Amino acid sequence: MGCHRAGWTVSASMPFLLLAALFTENAAGAAALRLKAADYGLIADGAADDGPAIARLLAEARGVKGPVALIFPENGTVRVTTSPERYVFPLDGVAGLELDGGGCLFLLNPYLRFMRLAGSRGTTVRNLKVDFDPLPFVEGTVTEADAAGRFLGVKLRPGQGDAPSGGPTREDGEQAFFSMLWHDGPYGTVSEHCWTENIEKTGDGTLRVHCGDSFHGFEKITPGVTRISVPVPGIAHRFGPGACFQVRDNTDALFEDVELWSAPWFGFELLRNGGALTFRRVHLRPRPGSGRWMSLWRDGFHVKGNSAALRWEDCEVFGMNDDAFNISTHASTVRRVEAPDWIVVSQAFPLGYVPWRESGMLAAADRDTGRLFPTRRIVKVEEGPPRVISDKPAAPGEIALTLEAPAPELAEGVMVWDPEQANPDTLLKNCVIGMSCRMQSPVRMEGCDVTALLWFYCEHLEGPFPSGVRITDCTLRRGRGNPDKALIFSGQPKGNEAAPPRAIHDIVIENSRIYGGVAVEGVENARITGNRFLEAGAAVVLRGNHGVAAEGNLDAEGNPLEPR
């Protein structure tokens, strides 16, 4: 790109994808028209394919001028085998829509996903449960662990149908192919990935899992005790059309009393939303009473680049085989400095583009040392030609940003992001979490119960660095993610110490009960007060910090705690 900036498009605001609206604009103050799914042929007996009835219901709703409530019968089982597209509820451009599931269980063909909510306003989804049939996994107990032969013998739990066979298909966006081992940990179940090359049916209710070269956990397995979830080839690990609930580019949405019991890939993906998104009693967990150990094959909540106020209240999130919460953005990297107030950047991970905005802010940090640079306002955004990667729209290869004031500290390789679009107002309240969490945005946690690693850090493809983190009245236990630690703040990404200002800053950990080690490294302005560290011998390490106060903390015996 030269000074003339030929071929670039000036962006005046966040260029959301323009989606064809399913429903007309919500009339202000109008009462919602109630459309009953039963009137469109829905049977909800768990046997008939209700996909065509849902399609007819949505077709009727398209012509409604004003808010619509889609009402399902109470506590039925809605089996969906077919759908006009792979999302059963493709809700694009809706305004004031309510989906009331009536407590129904929606059983989906694993080729399908439940909902795409995009470019919409004021949506409510409540009172429903989602599961898949057939499931993307089978489960059993490991009966043999042969390190020399690199296989595991498995006896399946009864009532799961035929044992699967085969291996990775590399179709429909299938990603890494692994089984999941479940060990008994000190405070709960601890899972471990077992990379899988092939699954061999060996008898009635038995199979053999052939392990990939990267699996080295044979010595941890106790035959007859260790449990395993085995992927079903052709279903598990498939990206398909996306997450089971894909929520992109919306303003204001409420999900309430929703359960997700299994999924081939992500549970929820939240990208570029504004206003307020609330998740109240939204549980991602194994189906209660089923005896299952796992829920989803990937992240529970995959949260990227939102300006919305994000709220999770009274949610249970566990059993997935990646993070319960991955809260971050897609940061960019400075590629060139054309002038002190004119830089060229590109998004480090090209998919899930988080556009820059004129009048928006540019934050910056050295990703290697964790040092923070001054924030600048953006006055002009010029996007290079758009790209398509794997048939998906991607970030432009380069974006030129003109700043309102010179920024001499910016140089090639510096990480930059828009702090107003990095989930700046995020609260988890009274949630039960049983899988590791990767937090790279400002997060507040109140009254949460976590049995897994809480990791606050910066990853080079995501970012940014979390600041303004507050952990209050929580119970934290070590589990999945780290064998020793319950909580880590990694403000020195490569162990490099640097002077302030620090990119991870203004941290509060207070009045919490912690079972396991804690490490706080390379942060600025942290307050660690009134906590009980209840695991004898667990290390509390404070290193390379600036302005850290640790007061009123007690160890397992009730004595004042002295951090190392």
C-alpha to C-alpha distance for 325 and 544, rounded to whole angstroms = 27
Phi, psi angle pair for 191, to nearest 5°? -95, 160
With bands split at pLDDT 50, 70 and 90, how would you rate the model's confidence at 59? Answer: very high
Report whether 131 contacts 263 (CB < 8 A). Answer: no
- Confidence (pLDDT) at 17: 33
Helix (H) or strand (E) holding 103: strand 97-108
Is it the case that residue 10 has pLDDT exceeding 60? no
Lowest-pLDDT choice from 142-151, 217-226, 555-564 = 555-564
| Domain limits, the chain | 137-231, 272-564
C-alpha to C-alpha distance for 564 and 561, rounded to whole angstroms = 9
157, with CB counted inside 10 A (0-12, 13-18, 19+), is middle
The residue type at 493: P
Q: Where are the alpha helices (DSSP H) in 259-319?
A: none
Closest C-alpha among 509, 540, 503, 543 to residue 526? 509
Report whether 319 contacts 433 (CB < 8 A). Answer: no
Report whether 95 contacts 121 (CB < 8 A). Answer: yes
With bands split at pLDDT 50, 70 and 90, how would you rate the model's confidence at 65? Answer: confident
Average pLDDT over residues 197-215: 96
**Beta pairing, strands 371-383 & 361-366:** antiparallel
Is it the case that residue 20 has pLDDT exceeding 50? no
Average pLDDT over residues 379-406: 93
Q: Where are the alpha helices (DSSP H) in 173-229?
A: none
Q: What percent of the chain has pLDDT over 90?
A: 89
Residues 324-356 have pLDDT tens digits of 999 999 999 999 999 999 999 999 999 999 999
Residues 470-528 have pLDDT tens digits of 999 999 999 999 999 999 999 987 776 778 999 999 999 999 999 999 999 999 999 99
Chain center to CA of 77: 27
Average pLDDT over residues 3-20: 38
SS3 content of the chain, % helix, strand, coil (to 5): 5, 50, 50
- Confidence (pLDDT) at 29: 58
The residue type at 100: D
C-alpha to C-alpha distance for 190 and 176, rounded to whole angstroms = 20
Closest C-alpha among 491, 508, 527, 503 to residue 444? 508
The residue type at 279: F
Residues 94-118 have pLDDT tens digits of 999 999 999 999 999 999 999 999 9
Report whether 530 contacts 553 (CB < 8 A). Answer: yes
Average pLDDT over residues 37-53: 98
Report whether 113 contacts 241 (CB < 8 A). Answer: yes
SS3 85: coil
- In sequence order, which residues have a C-beta less than 8 Å from that of residue 12 and are 6 or more positions away? 358
Whose structure tokens read 């703040």?
489
C-alpha to C-alpha distance for 24 and 2, rounded to whole angstroms = 44
Q: Which residues are bridge partners to 380 per DSSP?
A: 402
Closest C-alpha among 16, 11, 14, 173 to residue 92? 16
With bands split at pLDDT 50, 70 and 90, how would you rate the model's confidence at 3? Answer: very low
- Confidence (pLDDT) at 500: 93
With bands split at pLDDT 50, 70 and 90, how would you rate the model's confidence at 432? Answer: very high
Report whether 353 contacts 394 (CB < 8 A). Answer: yes
Helix (H) or strand (E) holding 60: helix 51-62
- Confidence (pLDDT) at 394: 92
With bands split at pLDDT 50, 70 and 90, how would you rate the model's confidence at 14? Answer: very low
Report whether 280 contacts 257 (CB < 8 A). Answer: yes
With bands split at pLDDT 50, 70 and 90, how would you rate the model's confidence at 392? Answer: confident
Strands in 397-484 per DSSP E:
399-403, 415-417, 425-429, 432-433, 437-439, 444-446, 449-452, 454-456, 470-472, 475-480
Report whether 245 contacts 265 (CB < 8 A). Answer: no
Q: Which CATH architecture has domain 137-231?
A: Beta Barrel (2.40)
Residues 240-270 have pLDDT tens digits of 999 999 999 999 999 999 999 999 999 999 9
Dihedral-angle region of residue 340 (phi above 0 means left; psi in -120 to 50 means alpha; beta otherwise): alpha
